[in-house]
């Protein structure tokens, strides 16, 4: 398949590489002017889209997504599939779908979970919104870039699922970090803490798979000086999206709001560019009234 790929950052580049390695002809574009192994680089976003059967975007926010779609949708080949893997607000995702539909293009909003490691390994989870036909056409590409794709519903449903999932993740990671910080103050060995919690009612992904305590559990960014698998500022972005959606839907999310405030403070106090699990050492350096 001839594929255009726009947005070749930390996530987009390895996703494009996996498509190229699978034998697809991938043409990419990124405003940073990067080069990616196995991907032919285009001079513009429009050039990357021209004549392609599928177009994948991985962009920073909803405003950029809208701007890029306004630019590239008119260049889309008849019947092409436009797949947006960015994490953006639901309204922007639906606006992108509307632009594509008016041009006679299939479209899917398909944000991902799995981070940089999952993008490189081809083990991402895709949460997809769009028509049955659009999802069916995108599914073979999801199979290459990820291990699972869930068709969540119509336009915007993928973004809704991603926002809700990452709100849970932000809340749970803070809870785990608070528990480890408290255990430290109480003199409880971190390994013993992990051995109990990972097999008890406190068990969750933030403990068992992505433990924020170095040297405990499977390898995680905590064992690499908290270099990001998922940066704290990206978690803050997703939590802000969750609160924007909650306000629009009149849905009470008190823990989501508190998690947003905590990550905002953490990012503002040196957490920008660190893994989101680095909340643990940040909390450990504070007193109760800090």
Separation CA 24–CA 27 (nearest Å):
10
The one-digit pLDDT tens for each residue of the chain (290 residues) are 999 999 999 999 999 999 999 999 999 999 999 999 999 999 999 999 999 999 999 999 999 999 999 999 999 999 999 999 999 999 999 999 999 999 999 999 999 998 888 999 999 999 999 999 999 999 999 999 999 999 999 999 999 999 999 999 999 999 999 999 999 999 999 999 999 999 999 999 999 999 999 999 999 999 999 999 899 999 999 999 999 999 999 999 999 999 999 999 999 999 999 999 999 999 998 876 65
| Cβ(125)–Cβ(94) below 8 Å | no
Dihedral over Cα of 115, 14, 33, 56: its sign: negative
Residue 162 known to be catalytic: yes
Q: DSSP labels for 95-161?
A: HHHHHHHHTT-EEEE--EESHHHHHHHT-EEEEEEE-HHHHHHHHHHHHHHEEEEEEEESTTHHHHH
**Residues with Cβ within 8 Å of residue 254, at least 6 apart in sequence:** none
Q: Would you state the structure tokens that stand for residue 99, as one six-digit string?
A: 């632009």
| pLDDT at position 148 | 97
Q: Would you state the structure tokens that stand for residue 164, as one six-digit string?
A: 């809700």
pTM equals 0.91
Q: Would you state the structure tokens that stand for residue 19, as one six-digit string?
A: 């498509």
| pLDDT at position 288 | 67
Considering 52, 137, 148, 162, which one is annotated as catalytic? 162
Q: Which H or E element spans position 84?
A: strand 81-84
| pLDDT at position 229 | 87
| pLDDT at position 289 | 61
Of 168, 163, 139, 167, nearest to 151 by C-alpha is 139
Residues paired with residue 83 on neighbouring β-strands, in sequence order: 56, 108
């Amino acid at each position: 398949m001839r594929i255009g790929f726009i947005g070749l950052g930390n996530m987009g580049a390895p996703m494009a590489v996996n498509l190229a390695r699978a034998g697809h002809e991938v043409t990419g574009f990124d405003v940073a002017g990067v080069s990616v192994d196995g991907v032919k680089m285009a001079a513009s976003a429009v050039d990357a889209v021209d004549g392609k059967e599928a177009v994948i975007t991985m962009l920073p926010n909803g405003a950029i997504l809208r701007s890029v779609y306004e630019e590239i949708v008119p260049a889309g080949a008849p019947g092409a599939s436009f797949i947006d893997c960015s994490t953006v607000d639901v309204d922007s995702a639906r606006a992108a779908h509307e632009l594509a539909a008016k041009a006679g293009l299939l479209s899917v909003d398909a944000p991902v979970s799995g981070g940089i490691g999952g993008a490189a390994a081809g083990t991402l989870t895709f949460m997809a919104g769009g028509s049955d036909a659009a999802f069916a056409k995108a599914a073979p590409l999801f199979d290459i870039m990820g291990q699972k794709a869930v068709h969540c519903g119509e336009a915007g449903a993928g973004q809704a699922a991603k926002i809700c999932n990452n709100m849970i993740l932000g809340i749970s990671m803070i809870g785990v970090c608070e528990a480890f910080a408290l255990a430290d103050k109480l003199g409880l060995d971190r390994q013993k803490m992990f051995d109990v919690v990972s097999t008890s009612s406190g068990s969750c992904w933030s403990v068992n798979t992505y433990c924020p305590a170095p040297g405990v559990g499977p390898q995680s960014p905590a064992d690499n000086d908290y270099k990001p698998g998922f940066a704290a500022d990206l978690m803050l972005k997703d939590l802000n999206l969750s609160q924007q959606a909650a306000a629009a839907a009149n849905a009470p999310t008190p823990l989501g709001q508190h998690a947003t405030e905590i990550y905002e403070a953490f990012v503002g106090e040196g957490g920008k560019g660190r893994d989101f699990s680095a909340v643990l050492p940040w909390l450990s350096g504070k007193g109760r009234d800090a």
